[in-house]
Amino acid sequence: MFGEVFICQFPFTSGAGGKVRPALVLFDLQQDAVLCRVTSVPRSGPLDVALDDWQTAGLLRPSVARLDRLVTAEKTIFLRRLGVLSPADLAAVRNTWNRQMKL
């Protein structure tokens, strides 16, 4: 499931409501999944990954996966599967995660 892109009811970080938007699955936790926000709003932080093959993922415009906007949620918030990241974009997400997320 890593690398699949869904339209979902992405919860706000405040916990109050959410917004229908694309999200990228990072970890499959059986009933739940760890997701990150996908947005077309340009920004270039250390945890932003530009998706070069955005059309392959089923996205409508050039987009960025924001690895600093995470949520663990039930898969019931998934409304529709858009597609899956290309191998190059999967590698970029994985490399950024491994380089930046150190415990």
pLDDT at 42: 81
CA atoms of 37 and 8, how far apart (whole Å): 10
pTM for the full model?
A: 0.92
Domain ranges in the chain are 4-100
Per-residue model confidence as pLDDT tens digits over 24-67:
999 999 999 999 999 999 888 999 999 999 999 999 999 999 99
Q: How confident is the model at residue 15 (pLDDT cuts 50, 70, 90)?
A: low
- Secondary structure element (H or E) that encloses residue 98, with its range: helix 87-100
pLDDT at residue 12 above 80?
no
As its CATH architecture, domain 4-100 has: Roll (2.30)
**In what side-by-side order are the strands of the sheet with 48-51?**
48-51, 63-74, 32-39, 18-29, 4-11, 78-84
Calpha distance 64→2 (Å, rounded): 16
| Angle at CA of residue 10, ends 8 and 7, nearest 5° | 20
